[in-house]
């Protein structure tokens, strides 16, 4: 794997930077490395966290401390990580998982839909058609447990964040923030433009893994009615 750089993060973390651009090619490298760590956990590794252009690995420095060695745990663990990269091929990934997310757009579920449509000079139906007509790439999970940062938003509906953020956004809310779209998995503050809501639970702490979506997944939004939203537990998967 080429163009890799390592940076310390505190006394128990190493950032493995795999590129500079937020694009699909870099994301493939991130996913390939994360998949490798999932299948081949390293001695002393606590967890790994995929990001836009990097994977951060947290490790136990005590497990890598050797009073007889001249180098520190960081250098020793970094050498192990560097040695693993020769086994990783970003061009040999399996077909990404496609997850369909039902969304009830507008009304009480999407209080900013009309404003976003007016901002772009299009109808609400056209906004819904554009938003649900794309396949999105999950670049990373962050901000809140299970929150997916989705790339691939059509530039025709890219919209600045709200000038005044809300103090509480309902779980499942689908929003637009700049050139990204995402889904709030739990109630939290936020400044994204809320255009709809999904009845799907994105954060499931009783399951393993607890996040419905993972970096590298593809997402497609499927419009549903308020009636379907209310019955989703009965008619959904």
Q: Contact at 8 Å (CB) between 77 and 44?
A: yes
Q: Contact at 8 Å (CB) between 191 and 166?
A: yes
pLDDT in tens, the chain (237 residues): 667 999 999 999 999 999 888 888 888 888 889 889 988 899 999 999 998 899 999 999 999 888 887 788 999 999 999 988 887 776 666 678 899 999 999 999 999 999 999 999 999 999 999 999 999 999 989 888 899 999 999 999 999 999 999 999 999 999 999 999 999 999 999 999 999 999 999 999 898 888 999 988 999 999 999 999 998 864 444
pLDDT, residue 199, reads 96
Pairing of strands 54-59, 45-50: antiparallel
Which residues, including other chains, have CB under 8 Å from residue 237's CB and lie 6 or more apart?
none
Token pair of 209, please? 């893994």
| Cα–chain center distance at 226 | 27
* Strands (DSSP E) found in 34-84: 45-50, 54-59
d(CA 135, CA 152): 7
d(CA 186, CA 170): 7
């Amino acid at each position: 794997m080429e163009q890799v750089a390592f940076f310390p993060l505190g006394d128990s973390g190493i950032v493995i930077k795999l590129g500079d651009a937020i694009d699909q090619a870099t994301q493939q490298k991130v996913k390939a490395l994360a998949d490798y760590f999932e299948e081949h956990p390293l001695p002393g590794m606590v967890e790994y966290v995929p990001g836009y252009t990097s994977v951060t690995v947290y490790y136990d420095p005590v497990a890598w401390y050797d009073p007889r060695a001249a180098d520190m745990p960081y250098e020793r663990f970094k050498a192990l990580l560097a040695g693993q990269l020769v086994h990783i091929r970003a061009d040999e990934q399996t077909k990404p998982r496609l997850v369909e997310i039902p969304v009830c757009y507008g009304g009480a579920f999407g209080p900013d839909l009309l404003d976003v449509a007016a901002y772009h000079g299009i109808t609400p139906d056209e906004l819904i058609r554009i938003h649900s007509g794309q396949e999105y790439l999950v670049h990373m999970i962050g901000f809140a447990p299970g929150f997916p940062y989705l790339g691939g938003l059509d530039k025709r509906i890219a919209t600045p964040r709200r000038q005044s953020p809300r103090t509480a956004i309902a779980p499942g809310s689908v929003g637009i923030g700049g050139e990204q779209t995402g889904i709030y998995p739990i109630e939290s503050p936020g400044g994204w433009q809320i255009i709809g809501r999904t009845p799907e639970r994105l954060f499931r702490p009783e399951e393993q893994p607890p996040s419905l979506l993972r970096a590298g997944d593809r997402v497609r939004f499927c419009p549903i009615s308020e009636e379907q939203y209310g019955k989703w537990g009965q008619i959904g998967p």
